[in-house]
Every structure is written in C-alpha cells, then in structure tokens.
C-alpha cells in the first residue's frame, strides 16, 4: 500500500505547514498538562516522555490515522504468529519467540518452536554454569578466566553492547570481542591474555563468514603456538612442541583423545566453542560438535543476541541475569502486541520517526544515553535501524515513494555535549534526539549522578525552549557588555529551540531494563518499516561489496588483474597497493 496517496498523508502535509507558526515553548505555556498528555509509562520502572516533540493533539491523531490505514497491525500480528514476513528470503521473523516467557506456543509451518528454544536455553545454562564455576578446564587443567567472542555484525555488536551495559552483573570472567578483519583487532585483544585460561566463541551461522573465519584461524594458531603443556606430561609428545603443528594451525585439527591422557581432548576442543548451524565445518575446524550451539533461520543477525549468539552474555553475567534480560524484552513484546496504538511505545516512536523523516526532511536522529555503560548502544542501533530501514524498494519490489533509512548516531552524555551538540542546538539541520537516563546509578560518587541527570534534563529543555534575542540581550547586559560588542555578539547567542526530543527514563540499568530498551527499538524499527512498506529483515545491500572483495583479493596478492577489468580509480589504487 502506498501511504503517500492516503488522506492522512495529505492532511499531515497541511499539518506540517501549520508548524511554521508554532513553537514548543508556547505550547508548553498554554497546556500545563502537556507532559501528562504526551507521556507513557510501562510501569514505575520505565517511562517514555514524548511531550517535547513537534506535535499537538491533531498531529498525533493524523499520525495514528496513518498507522491504521497502513499494514502495521496485520504485519505485527503476522510476525508474532510465525508467518514468513521476510518475503525475500522466505523466512519467519521470530526473535520474539526467543524471549517468549509465556506458555503460549509459537508455530512456524504448524510446528511449535518453543521446545527447541527452551532446549537451547537449557544447554546454554549448563555450559555457562560449567565455565563460570570452574568445572570447565582448559587443556592445561586451568579454569577459564577470559572469553573472546569472534564474530561480526549481529554476532558482535549485540553481545559486546550488552556485556558493557551489564558490567555490574559480571562475575569472574572477562569478556572480549573481536570483529574487524584488521589483524590489529585480534592482536591487541590477545596481547595480555593467557592461552591456558582463554575460551574462544566463534559465532557464524554458516561458519563461512570471511572476517570471522580468518580471525578464528589466527586465534587457533596463537593458541596452538603458545599453550603450555598439561600437568604431568613431558614437553615432547604432550605439550608445546606437539600442539604447535603448522598444518593444524592452517587446516584445523581433528578432535581426538590423547594416548595415555584419558579424558583429554585436543587443545582446540577445550578452548573453542561455536555458535553455528554448520556442523561439518565446525568439526573440521577442531571444535567438538557437542560444544556447538545452533539457532534458526528465523533469527536475523541483528536480532540474534537473544539466541545462542548471546552465549558470551550468558557466560559474563550468568544465565539467571541473561534470562532476566529476556523477560525485559518479553515485557515490551507483550506491550507492543496488545496495547492500543495510541498508548503503544514502539508505535509512537515509529510514527514520530516517520513524521520527522518524511515531513520535516530530517535525515538523522541521535541516541544519547546519559549512562556511560550504554556507550555501545548507539552503534548497536546503527545496525538495527540502518540495515533494516536502508531499503529503496517496497515489499512488492516497486520503488519506495518516501524517504527511508534515517542516519543513526550518538555518544554518551555528557561527552556528546562537548562534541556534536552544537550542530543539534544551532545548526541548520533538524536532528531529533532520544535521551536515555536512569534514575539510579550503580556507581554514584561525590553526587556525580545528580550532575549527570541535571545535564540530561537541561539539554532536553534547552532544545525545546531555545533562547530568544530578547533573553540573550538581557543576559549580556547583566554581564556588563558594552552596547557595541553586544550588538555584534547577540546573533551568535540566540538558540532557535523548537528542536524535538524524546526522554526515556528508567529506574536503573539492569538486565531487565536493557531487554526492554533493545526490544523497544526493535519494534520501533518494525513500525517504520511497516509504514514505509519495506522489508526490515533482509540486507541484500551488504552483498555487492563482499562479492567484489572476492574478485579483488587475488589481484592484490597474486597475478595482476586484466587491464580494464576495473575502473581507472580502482586499478590505480591496486597498482599503488601492489607497489607498496
């Protein structure tokens, strides 16, 4: 359905023009109940304040009318029902099943997937408990102290973000993440680690992802070259000299038991596990298939941290806390599934995103957590939103009729205030902002959390109110500035205000809170995609670069490319790189 041809879309164009004469400062002055009118609480722990947006009651009514004229509700229900809404790949979209905490079955093609989900959670729990309690020993007989997750994209961003966010819940294990094929990433990570106490998780559904496999092979070579001998064995035949076999480092060892060392396995099997569905490739690498954790084709990469991809999270914070995170996501799933559209947090956020993107020509939005441990949350949302919404064709293959795919960026407050907030406050671009903050801190020292929150509140108020020329002049006069200097400086001291923001306030950053935050944005992205009539669950745009890289690699390392097979720029760069 083309929403740009609906009566609601036309009416929203007229409503947008009306805002040329409106200012949020005046609307707040006239309506003392504006906060109550435009805020929504899930419970005492989780609040969305959207009152500082460029909306009035009639704006919201038109946006909701647009939602009702779209396929949003049928698509939402189809997703939860396990229908194959990812139509370009013929797959269901059921990350919600991974955190389904009810007894309600979830079926794909008539088969309930919940028994499989619960079985995998039980396997994750058993493994996490063994590692965290020290029962799982490395090849040298020492317990694990460090876990290195090797993945990329959704196999890296989600777990890395969550482990940082939930650091107060971490135990004795340290979590590390390697994703970039740049060898410096792996080198810097391994530099201070002990191979005898390091466990690697190789996360790749197909076990063919180039960046992940190259890093995993390099990590395996590092392990085999540096692992000390097991206790009670001679240096030769059982220790460093034997395990550092070049062919094994290159091609992958077979899992086997050692003669005279009952119960021991090859070192790779004691220090590597896999999150994958390709058992043959996992086995060939040297990982015991018993330590392979799978997931399903209805789990998209950027929605996968709830699955076995979340194994590093479970190892770091424990399975009880991991399941608490699932429960938080389930809270938002139930809210999104059952709440009326006008009282539905993801729906409201999605409608506001469309309002700015399509009627205000806003091409970006900022996510600004006033919580240092959410430092990686904006990067996580970049993939979630930009890979999902960055589509130029509708679900039926026809070109989209409206702008999609906003640019997402952000940094923790108050760091961002001393970086890019200048553009948001006084720049010529409209950049809506989401501010996130916790009422309580895990680490309040010297009253600094109150200072942080005062900045959180001040920024949203400043963006909304601005500062008029009259106010700026009075301020400069009070400061004793001479009239001539005042006149020159005054234009630079004016803030236009009328800059929109949402405030998401939670009690404390707990596993349940984090689950709610992630699910909130997942469903916001879904809402926007449904309104734009695009498929949020494929990512064909990442394929072309991969294909070309496969062609270019041998041309960088082997015989020269055939002249004219690339454009002049690419050929010139190849020549310069080969000359180096």
Q: How many degrees, rounded to 5, is the angle at CA 405 between CA 403 and CA 410?
A: 130
Take residue 460 and report the two structure tokens written for it: 């949203």
Please report how the helices 157-165 and 511-532 are oriented relative to each other, as an axis angle in degrees rounded to 10.
140
List of residues 6+ apart from 86 with CB closer than 8 A:
92, 93, 300, 535, 537, 538
Burial 315-342 (b: 16+ CB within 10 A, else e): bbbbbebbbbbbebbbbbbbbbeebebe
Tell me if residue 418 is catalytic: yes
| Rounded Cα distance, 114 and 101, in Å | 10
Catalytic residue among 13, 29, 256, 546: 546
Out of 324, 387, 411, 555, the active site residue is 387
For the beta carbon of residue 133, count every other beta carbon within 10 angstroms: 11
CB-based burial, 220-252: b 16+ in 10 Å, e otherwise: bebbbebbbbbeebeeeebbeebbeeeebbeeb
Choice among 13, 68, 398, 418 that is catalytic: 418
Residue 546 annotated among the catalytic residues of the structure: yes
387 flagged as catalytic = yes
Q: Distance between CA atoms of 59 and 15, rounded to whole angstroms?
A: 7
Report the distance separating Cα 239 and Cα 464, nearest Å.
66
Coarse DSSP helix, strand, coil percentages of the chain, rounded to the nearest 5 percent:
55, 10, 35
203 Cβ contact partners less than 8 Å away, ≥ 6 residues apart: 149, 150, 151, 155, 156, 159, 212, 274, 275, 276, 309, 311
Start-end of H helices in 206-365: 210-226, 235-238, 240-243, 246-251, 267-271, 279-285, 311-317, 319-338, 345-359
| d(C-alpha 329, C-alpha 323), whole Å | 10
Residues written for the chain: 580
| Helical axes 568-579 vs 543-557, angle rounded to 10° | 40
For residue 438, what are the contacts with CB-CB under 8 A and spacing of at least 6? 370, 371, 505, 506, 507, 508, 509, 513
Selection from 325, 304, 54, 130 nearest residue 147 by Cα: 130
The residues annotated as belonging to the active site are 387, 418, 546
């Amino acid at each position: 359905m083309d929403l740009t041809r609906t009566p609601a879309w036309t009416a929203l164009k007229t409503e947008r023009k009306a805002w040329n004469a409106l200012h949020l400062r005046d609307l707040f002055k006239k309506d003392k109940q504006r906060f109550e009118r435009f805020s929504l609480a899930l419970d005492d722990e989780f609040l969305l304040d959207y009152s500082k947006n460029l909306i009035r009651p009639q704006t919201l009514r038109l946006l909701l009318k647009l939602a009702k004229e779209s396929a949003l509700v049928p698509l939402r229900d189809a997703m939860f029902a396990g229908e194959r809404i990812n139509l370009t790949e013929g797959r269901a979209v059921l990350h919600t099943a991974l955190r389904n905490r009810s007894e309600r079955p979830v079926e794909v093609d008539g088969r309930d997937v919940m028994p499989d989900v619960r079985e995998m959670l039980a396997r994750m729990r058993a493994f996490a408990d063994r590692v965290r309690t020290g029962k799982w020993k490395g090849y040298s007989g020492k317990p694990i102290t460090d876990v290195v997750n090797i993945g990329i994209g959704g196999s890296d961003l989600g777990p890395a973000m969550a482990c940082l966010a939930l650091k107060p819940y971490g135990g004795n294990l340290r979590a590390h993440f390697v994703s970039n094929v740049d060898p410096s990433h792996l080198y810097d990570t391994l530099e201070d680690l002990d191979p005898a106490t390091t466990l690697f998780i190789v996360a790749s559904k197909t076990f063919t992802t180039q960046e992940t496999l190259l890093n995993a092979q390099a990590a395996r070579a590092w392990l085999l070259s540096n692992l000390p001998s097991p206790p009670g064995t001679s240096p030769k035949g059982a220790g460093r000299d034997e395990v550092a076999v070049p062919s094994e480092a290159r091609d992958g060892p077979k899992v086997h038991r050692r003669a005279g060392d009952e119960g021991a396995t090859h070192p790779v099997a004691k220090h590597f596990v896999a999150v994958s569905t390709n058992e043959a490739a996992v086995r060939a690498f040297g990982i015991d298939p018993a330590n392979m954790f799978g997931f399903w084709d209805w789990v998209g990469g950027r929605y996968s941290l709830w699955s076995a991809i979340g194994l590093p999270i479970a190892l770091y914070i424990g399975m009880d806390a991991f399941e608490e995170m699932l429960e938080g996501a389930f809270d938002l799933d139930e809210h999104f599934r059952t709440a009326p559209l006008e009282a539905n947090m993801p729906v409201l956020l999605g409608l506001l995103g469309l309002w700015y993107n399509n009627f205000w020509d806003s091409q970006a939005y900022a996510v600004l957590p006033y919580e240092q441990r959410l430092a990686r949350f904006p990067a996580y949302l970049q993939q979630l939103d930009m890979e999902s919404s960055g589509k130029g064709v509708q679900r039926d293959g026809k070109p989209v009729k409206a702008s999609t795919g906003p640019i997402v960026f952000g940094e923790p407050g108050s760091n961002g205030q001393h970086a890019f907030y200048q553009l948001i406050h006084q720049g010529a671009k409209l950049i809506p902002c989401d501010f996130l903050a916790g009422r309580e801190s895990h680490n309040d020292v010297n009253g600094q959390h109150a200072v942080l929150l005062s900045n959180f509140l001040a920024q949203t108020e400043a963006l909304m109110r601005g500062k008029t020329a009259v106010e700026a002049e009075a301020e400069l006069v009070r400061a004793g500035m001479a009239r001539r200097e005042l006149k020159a400086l005054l234009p630079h001291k004016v803030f236009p205000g009328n800059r929109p923001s949402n405030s998401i306030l939670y009690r404390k950053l707990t596993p349940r809170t984090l689950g709610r935050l992630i699910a909130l944005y997942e469903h916001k992205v879904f809402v926007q995609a449904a309104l734009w009539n695009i498929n949020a669950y494929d990512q064909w745009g990442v394929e072309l670069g991969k294909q070309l890289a496969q062609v270019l690699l041998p041309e960088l390392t082997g015989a020269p490319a055939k002249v004219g097979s690339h454009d002049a720029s690419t050929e010139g760069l190849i020549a310069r790189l080969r000359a180096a």
